[in-house]
Amino acid sequence: MKIFSLLGLVSLPIAALAETTLDPTLHMSVVGGISSADNPGDLALHAHDPNDDLALQGFDVGLNLRHDDWLAAFVNINAFTTPDGELDAEWEEAFAKLQNLPGGFELRAGRFQNRFGLENHLHQHSWNFVNANLSTAQFLGEEALITEGLELTWLRKSDYTLFALTGSLGKAAEHHGHGDEHGDEHGDEHGEHGSEEALFNEELATVRALFSFHPNDFHHHRFGLNGAWGQNGYGNSRNTSLYSADYLYQWRQNGLEADGREFSTGLEVFLRDVEWANDDGLSGESSQSGFMVFGRYRFADQWIADLRYEELQGREPAEEVTLGEDRERLSIALTREFELSGWNSHARLQYSHDQLEEGSEDTVWLQFGFDFGDGEVR
């Protein structure tokens, strides 16, 4: 009798482990380019944008944990080469998530990329283009908007709709100075890309309202409204307020079935208000806006064409402080997907035309990406 009881006690943790899965992920991106600029990396805004003629854009190692249907977790580290050609690495995310809670709630805790807009929650290997959207880097930070704290989401679903209201509270993760290093080397030629002091760096609160509507299996509409409020780097409890709206439409030839042609389009609008101060004792408030529109067409098996137009504009700019230069960019990309020794891989050729305040630059990028593992916990 005691033997059976002992076996029962041992079987409990074994059964619990049987419900737990650990799924590693591995992603690598290598990119090279030629540009009318002295160095194609001169045009980078995001820390993971291409920063040299030839660079390791990212080597991302992650681990997903899933237990039953109520607990999930994710952690990853990303390595890359700096503009100086040195290898660097950083933790990007490390969080746990309670899901399927009563009332339709989900709770994330730890270090996570915020649900904000179309791109912020995505890692570099999931971007549709070689580089990040201008607005992502300019307004959310060169390493994305990352919170160390708590996030609560309320979900309401029906047969044709999904509504999600997400709020987060915590501390904005510090930026590691990739932009400063890049700016010291190349900033004189192309002007100040942006002010790191305008970004969130202390207490931070964000909210996102998402409404998704799919009248049938072939058409999908998604609308998002976003807001973020917190202290910036100008000191004395000065704040930055950020607002954005986004829309995404997707059509699939075969609906929920695999393969077939696909088309998606969308846009995103940003508005930022920044309270600032400078070394001369002057202070004030300045605003900046951003706009992005894109189209994506899977026209054949494993072939995708992408088009993107973006602009950054200052509103009520102050001569005493620089939030970032006005800029326009048009990007065209062609992606070929393939499988290589069990890896989901791609080759991407991209052309970008940048209109800067000092003139224009043209750049061609060639990127190779290699991906292993299932989707990441989000």
Give tens-digit pLDDT for 320-355: 677 888 999 999 999 999 988 778 999 999 999 999
pLDDT (tens digit, 9 = 90+) per residue, 184-233? 443 333 334 457 889 999 999 999 999 999 999 999 999 999 999 999 99
Domain boundaries, the chain: 103-372
pLDDT for the residue 186: 39
pLDDT for the residue 16: 53
pLDDT for the residue 175: 60
Closest CA to 309 of 333, 336, 335: 333
Architecture of domain 103-372: Beta Barrel (2.40)
Is there a contact between 97 and 71 (Cβ–Cβ < 8 Å)? yes
pLDDT for the residue 192: 44
Retrieve residue 93's tokens: 């995310």
Regions of the chain short of the pLDDT cut 70: 1-18, 175-194, 316-320
- What span, in angstroms and rounded, lies between the C-alpha atoms of 121 and 339? 26
- What span, in angstroms and rounded, lies between the C-alpha atoms of 367 and 350? 8
Is there a contact between 58 and 15 (Cβ–Cβ < 8 Å)? no
Q: What is the pTM of this model?
A: 0.90
pLDDT for the residue 18: 58
- What span, in angstroms and rounded, lies between the C-alpha atoms of 168 and 11? 39
pLDDT for the residue 318: 65
Neighbours of 169 (CB within 10 A): 15
Query: Which class for 131: exposed (0-12), middle (13-18), buried (19 or more C-beta within 10 A)?
Result: buried
Retrieve residue 324's tokens: 């970032």
Distances (CA, A) of 220 to 28, 114, 250, 295, 364: 30, 23, 5, 15, 33
Per-residue HEC secondary structure of the chain comes to CHHHHHHHHHHHHHHHHHCEEEEEEEEEEEEEEEECCCCHHHHCCCCCCCCCCEEEEEEEEEEEEEECCCEEEEEEEEEEECCCCCEEEEEEEEEEEEEEECCCEEEEEEEEECCCCCCCCCCHHHCCCCCCCHHHHHHHCCCCCEEEEEEEEEEEECCCEEEEEEEEEEEECCCCCHHHHHHHHHHHHHCCCCCHHHCEEEEEEEEEEEEEECCCCCEEEEEEEEEEEEEECCCCCCEEEEEEEEEEEEEECCCCCCCCCEEEEEEEEEEEEEEEECCCCCEEEEEEEEEEEEEEEEEECCEEEEEEEEEEEEECCCCCCCCCCCEEEEEEEEEEEEEECCEEEEEEEEEEEEEECCEEEEEEEEEEEEEECCCCCC
